[in-house]
Amino acid sequence: MSKTLPPVDVVLVGGGWTGTLIGKELAAAGQRVVVLERGEPRWTSPNFQAPGVRDELKYGRRDELHQNTATETYTFRNRADETALPMRRWQFASPGNHLGGAGVHWSGVLYRWDPVEFKLRSHYTKRYGAKIFSDDITAQDWPLTYDELESYYDRFDRLVGASGYAGNLKGVLQPGGNPFEPWRSNPYPNPPMKVPYASALFGEAALKLGYHPYVQPSALSTRPYVNSEGLQMNGCVYCGFCSNFGCEQFAKASPQVCVLPAALKLPTFELRTNSHVLRVNLDRERKRATGVTYVDAAGVETFQPAEIVFLCAFAINNTRLLLLSGIGKPYDPSTGEGVVGRNYTHQTTSTVSLFFDEETKLNPFMAAGAAAVTMDDFCTDNFDHGPHGFVGGGYVQIQVVSGAPIGNRAVPPGTPGWGSTWKKAVKRYYNHSMPITITGSNLPVRGGYLSLDPTYTDAWGQPLLRITYDLPDNDIKLSAFLTDKGTEIGKAMRGVTLAVGNPRKKPYASTSYQSTHINGGAAIGDDPKTSVTNRFGQCWDVPNVFVAGSALFPQNSCFNPTGTIGALAYWAADAVKRDYLRAPGRLIA
Amino acid sequence: MNRALPVAVVGVGVAIAALAQSKDFSPPPPAWQVALQGTTSTAAGKAIVTSGKGAAIACAGCHGANGIAPPGTPFPRLAGLPMEYVAKQLFDYREGTRPNPMMAPIAKALTDADIASVARYYASMDPPAAQTGATGWSARARHLARYGDNALAIPACIDCHGSDATGGGPILPPLGQSASYTTAQLQAFRSGERHNDGDTVMREMSKRMSDADIKALADYYGGR
């Protein structure tokens, strides 16, 4: 059974940050817009209120806000000669689901990417010679610069109520700020977050060692704030239920708090939840999209005709939609030809486990997703890579996210995994342990890619997305270097009795959490041979289909993705309004 | 009497980065916290509460001998309030962030140690038994208390004050005060006259409440 609906101007797949933000921008410009969200509608009140929202088992362990692996998951393998198997339980990432998407359960960490990130290959090649990239690395420059994106980062800051202390205002370094910060045209709209005690101890030690620690910027509003859409945010109360949870306080930026109440007032904006998109429909020549096909809440297959299609699903799920729809040439690792699925990346993360004496009471429950003291001394190209022979970098920090009891049971290495000795150690260290976290960049490799799985299908009978990837030696070297630096800082911290570095090792595994930042498969670029879209996220092969979000990233920065995703969304929406609508169906020059 | 103070733990947990540019990631604790960490005693507190001290008249005169103000008076009950909360309020009366013509001179007449002792004494007293069969509350009040209001960006009262409204710590009082007291406090927050809430939270929430909302909540919590 299927039905066809009346046509609209724009259909957007996904009700997360990019779908709601671009949808609102285009609806305000007079376009008739429909946002299709596969999950259910959820709002701060009543859905995210206490005591229900602080259920660590439901949200933290059973992934209530994440993609349901019983209906749709990824399969995984390290190499093309292995058979991929489906992930049954989320351990390596947390793909968003339901209204607001990952913009509901994120931590609120808000970075801008360093200018070097956008010119990664040419910058490193110029400074260190082409050989710094080993042959297996497919990293490439972006087709745009930080300077071009700056005003869009600024707009996103005002949408999400960004908090922080500017380190670089219009090229002028601010005393005491982060000296490595890219220039910004305006200060943060809100002051920096409060500092948890463990983070303060980290900052003190980092300062003593000559580094430049600062309070991490965030999208958790630090005071009552009316955002650029005229919507009210409240100040964070540091309840410690951000990551994996909806924010009860209207303080963590989310599409529900920052975009949707304004968008839904527009007569041209429509939101449909429980609408699972199966594919983009193309015309006979396969050069133009005619709309999308989705399954509605009643299980009815529905065709929504549209003039423009925006793929705004979670990260790499957009790459899957391109593959399922036959848009762009799939990447073939044996020949290196094709582009869709190429340049998959994640995040090269590691930790230093710290254990403290009993006088140092850390109170890990006094927390917020983005509450951290961090440092950029080893990010991007802020240090001389010559002696080290690798590309990229990472930030080192203590971020106190949560003291929730299931997830916070660190014990020193060698402690038995069960029994009375384990229980004693959990009790001894609950308030006296905290990891230093290290978040490193990640490079794409020739043999790493996304493709449709030949064996496993989802609840609608469509092939699952298959991830084939292993970390390049470059990133293993990077992780060893950064983890050594983090361990030195840990050992210099007051109260620390034991610091144990845990660098990232091969193989890259689906059973190890490495942040939720999975990217790529629809690389943005200026050459159709090495990219899926042009500089506005517009598909080379089907110009009325646009891709948003981190599927566009040619490689991953050490910095969290959401700030750049938000800036890119504004950038694309502006290009559509300014150029595309004047000459529909053409590639924007 | 000295005993392990939970406040000592709570206080160091979050250090306010008042000035990020100062690179002082752990600034000193607030004065009320330092006072509670000093030498205090419930006995000294009891003496001040029952007999007063110098220009500070006896607390019990208005707040009741058992820390429970007589019905029909505008005074809050103090028995069983968190000692951090009582201590912070007295410091705030003294500094004027909670302006009050009756309480300001009293707080000014007390030393830091006196305040800590009084706070400790009131925290040691039994709170009144919870009333059952409360009447007079509306569906609107119940919804605000338990779920908040999405359109006004008001979170549920219970998010911070607790499902049983017992509060805790320096900035979260129990909510079971008389309706007249609760109304007066919400109105004082709304006008900005009272400005000793953490990060302007209560000033901002109360601004988004109508008079009817304030009355409904005061009745809801006052009837408990």
Inter-chain touch B148–A45, beta carbons under 8 Å: yes
Boundaries of every domain in chain A: 2-582
The amino acid present at A418, given as its one-letter code, is: W
Query: A337: which strand partners?
Result: A332
* A8 Cα to chain B: minimum distance (Å): 28
Please identify which residue in the block is written with the tokens 């290959």: A121
Predicted local confidence at residue B130, as pLDDT: 67
CA nearest to A339, candidates A318, A316, A323, A354: A323
* B66 Cα to chain A: minimum distance (Å): 33
Query: In B, which residues are within 8 Å of A254 by CB distance?
Result: none
- Confidence band (pLDDT; 50, 70, 90) for A1? low
CA nearest to A367, candidates A199, A178, A164, A190: A199
Q: What is the CA radius of gyration of chain B?
A: 18
Query: In B, which residues are within 8 Å of A196 by CB distance?
Result: 13-15
- A2-582: CATH number: 3.50.50.60
CA nearest to A483, candidates A401, A396, A561, A555: A396
Query: In A, which residues are within 8 Å of B150 by CB distance?
Result: 43-46
What span, in angstroms and rounded, lies between the C-alpha atoms of B162 and B146? 10
Please check the confidence at residue B134 and state whether its pLDDT lies above 60. no
Is the peptide bond preceding residue A51 cis, with omega within 30 degrees of 0? yes
Please check the confidence at residue A225 and state whether its pLDDT lies above 90. yes
Inter-chain touch A44–B150, beta carbons under 8 Å: yes
For residues A435-464, give the mean pLDDT.
98
Inter-chain touch A249–B17, beta carbons under 8 Å: no
Contacts of A31 (CB under 8 A, 6+ apart): A9, A10, A268, A308, A581
Encode pLDDT of A171-184 as tens digits.
Answer: 999 998 999 999 99
CB A561 within 8 A of CB A14: no
- What whole-number percentage of chain B has pLDDT above 70? 86
Residue B139 in contact with partner chain A when CB distance is under 8 A: no
State both tokens at A105: 């359960």
Predicted local confidence at residue A185, as pLDDT: 98
For residues A123-134, give the mean pLDDT.
97
Q: Provide the greatest CA pair distance for chain B.
A: 54
User: A-contacting residues of B 189-208, CB under 8 Å?
Assistant: 198-201, 204-205, 208
Please check the confidence at residue B20 and state whether its pLDDT lies above 50. no
Predicted local confidence at residue B2, as pLDDT: 39
| CB nearest B149 (choices: A45, A207, A213) | A45
- CATH 1.10.760.10 positions along chain B are 6-124, 139-222
Residue A67: CB atoms within 10 A of its CB come to: 24
What span, in angstroms and rounded, lies between the C-alpha atoms of B68 and A427? 39
Inter-chain touch B201–A234, beta carbons under 8 Å: yes
Beta strands of A409-541 (E only): which ranges?
433-440, 449-457, 463-468, 496-502
| CB nearest A197 (choices: B13, B20, B200) | B13
Please identify which residue in the block is written with the tokens 């229900």: A52
For residues B42-71, give the mean pLDDT.
95
Please check the confidence at residue A469 and state whether its pLDDT lies above 80. yes
Inter-chain touch B25–A43, beta carbons under 8 Å: no
Q: If you ran DSSP here, which 8-state letter would residue A496 be given?
A: E
* A48 Cα to chain B: minimum distance (Å): 9
Inter-chain touch A177–B147, beta carbons under 8 Å: no
Query: A76: which strand partners?
Result: A85, A467
Please check the confidence at residue B13 and state whether its pLDDT lies above 60. no
State both tokens at B197: 């809430």
Residue B156 in contact with partner chain A when CB distance is under 8 A: yes
A286: left (phi over 0), alpha (psi -120 to 50) or beta: left
Please check the confidence at residue B22 and state whether its pLDDT lies above 90. no
Please check the confidence at residue B95 and state whether its pLDDT lies above 60. yes
State both tokens at A99: 């209204």
CB B105 within 8 A of CB B211: no
Q: If you ran DSSP here, which 8-state letter would residue A553 be given?
A: -
How buried is residue B62: exposed, middle or buried, by Cβ count under 10 Å (0-12/13-18/19+)? middle
Please identify which residue in the block is written with the tokens 């005690």: A197
- Confidence band (pLDDT; 50, 70, 90) for A194? very high
Encode pLDDT of B192-223 as tens digits.
Answer: 999 999 889 999 999 999 999 999 999 999 86
Predicted local confidence at residue B9, as pLDDT: 36
Inter-chain touch A200–B149, beta carbons under 8 Å: no
Query: In A, which residues are within 8 Å of B25 by CB distance?
Result: 195, 199-201, 203-204, 213, 215, 373
Please check the confidence at residue A386 and state whether its pLDDT lies above 80. yes
* B14 Cα to chain A: minimum distance (Å): 5
Please identify which residue in the block is written with the tokens 């948890």: A196
Inter-chain touch B159–A248, beta carbons under 8 Å: yes
Predicted model pTM? 0.95
Q: Please name the residue of chain A whose CA is at the shortest distance from the CA of residue B156.
A: A49
Residue B184: CB atoms within 10 A of its CB come to: 17
CB A77 within 8 A of CB A447: no
Predicted local confidence at residue B82, as pLDDT: 96
Question: Which CATH fold topology does B6-124 show?
Answer: Cytochrome Bc1 Complex; Chain D, domain 2 (1.10.760)
- Confidence band (pLDDT; 50, 70, 90) for B21? very low
Query: In B, which residues are within 8 Å of A45 by CB distance?
Result: 147-150, 154-156
Encode pLDDT of A57-84 as tens digits.
Answer: 999 999 999 999 999 999 999 999 999 9
- Confidence band (pLDDT; 50, 70, 90) for B135? low
Residue B184 in contact with partner chain A when CB distance is under 8 A: no
DSSP calls for A388-413: T-----EEEEEE-----TTT-----T
Is CATH 1.10.760.10 correct for B139-222? Answer: yes
Predicted local confidence at residue A547, as pLDDT: 98
| CB nearest B15 (choices: A50, A200, A250) | A200
What span, in angstroms and rounded, lies between the C-alpha atoms of A274 and A259? 19
CA nearest to B37, candidates B46, B24, B49, B28: B28
* A347 Cα to chain B: minimum distance (Å): 28
Predicted local confidence at residue B28, as pLDDT: 87
- What whole-number percentage of chain A has pLDDT above 70? 100
Query: In A, which residues are within 8 Å of B160 by CB distance?
Result: 237
Whether this model's ipTM surpasses 0.95 comes out as: no
Encode pLDDT of A315-331 as tens digits.
Answer: 999 999 999 999 999 99
Q: If you ran DSSP here, which 8-state letter would residue A264 be given?
A: T
* B169 Cα to chain A: minimum distance (Å): 13
Q: Please name the residue of chain A whose CA is at the shortest distance from the CA of residue B18.
A: A194
Please provide residue A463's backbone torsions phi and psi, each rounded to the nearest 5 degrees: -60, 140
Share of chain A residues as helix, strand and coil, in percent rounded to the nearest 5 = 25, 25, 55
Inter-chain touch A200–B26, beta carbons under 8 Å: yes
CA nearest to B115, candidates B74, B136, B84, B147: B84
Please provide residue A34's backbone torsions phi and psi, each rounded to the nearest 5 degrees: -125, 125
Predicted local confidence at residue B39, as pLDDT: 84
CA nearest to A45, candidates B213, B148, B145: B148
Q: Which of A195, A227, A231, A247 to mutate to test the interface with B (most CBs of B within 10 A)?
A: A195
B68: left (phi over 0), alpha (psi -120 to 50) or beta: beta
Residues of A with a known catalytic role: 517
Locate all alpha helices (DSSP H) within A239-379, ordered by sequence: 255-258, 260-263, 317-325
| CB nearest A224 (choices: B14, B25, B200) | B200
Encode pLDDT of A74-127 as tens digits.
Answer: 999 999 999 999 999 999 999 999 999 999 999 999 999 999 999 999 999 999
- Strands A433-440 and A394-399, bridge-based pairing: antiparallel
Predicted local confidence at residue A381, as pLDDT: 98
CA nearest to B84, candidates B182, B164, B195, B167: B167
Inter-chain touch B156–A49, beta carbons under 8 Å: yes
- Confidence band (pLDDT; 50, 70, 90) for A188? very high
Q: Please name the residue of chain B whose CA is at the shortest distance from the CA of residue A257.
A: B153
What span, in angstroms and rounded, lies between the C-alpha atoms of A259 and A231? 8
SS3 string, chain B, reads CCCCCHHHHHHHHEECCCCHHHCCCCCCCCHHHHHHHCCCCHHHHHHHHHHCECCECCCHHHHCCCCCCCCCCCCCCCCCCCHHHHHHHHHHHHHCCCCCCCHHHHHHHCCHHHHHHHHHHHHHCCCCCCCCCCCCCCHHHHHHHHHCECCCCECCHHHHHCCCCCCCCCCCCCCCCCHHHHHHHHHHHHHCCCCCCHHHHHHHHHHCCCHHHHHHHHHHHHCC
Predicted local confidence at residue B12, as pLDDT: 38
* A547 Cα to chain B: minimum distance (Å): 31
**Chain-centre distance of CA A86, in angstroms?**
22
For residues B98-112, give the mean pLDDT.
97
What span, in angstroms and rounded, lies between the C-alpha atoms of A369 and A50? 17
CB A422 within 8 A of CB A411: yes
